[in-house]
Structure 1
Amino acid sequence: MPKVEFNKVKKTKTNMKEETLRGTLASVFLLGFFLIATWLGVYFLFLDRL
């Protein structure tokens, strides 16, 4: 009967979880910067047309 090594599976799940969260954080920051830039662009367009 083959031996099952639980430590390797546990480390892999941890690494996958950290990478996923890192990607999520980067995506949220990019989306946030895009939204802020869009709102600032619309605001300055509004001020320009006053």
Structure 2
Amino acid sequence: MKNEHGQKETALNGTLVSVMLLGAFIVLTWLGVYFLYLHRG
């Protein structure tokens, strides 16, 4: 029972990290596009 709980926490942590990395990638992409737009404008 304790082992199952530990596995669920690990899965949740992995999901959280994946979501954070995806969010950071999207934000960095938008910032890159925004700065390119400012530079060209």
TM value normalised by structure 1: 0.76
Match of 2:24 among 19, 30, 33: 33
Bigger helix share: 2
RMSD: 0.7
Aligned amino acid, residue 14 of structure 1: H
Looking at CA atoms only, which structure, 1 or 2, has the larger radius of gyration? 1
- Residues paired across the two proteins, number: 41
Query: Is there any run of 5+ residues in structure 2 with no aligned partner, and where?
Result: none
**What percent identity do the matched residue pairs reach?**
56
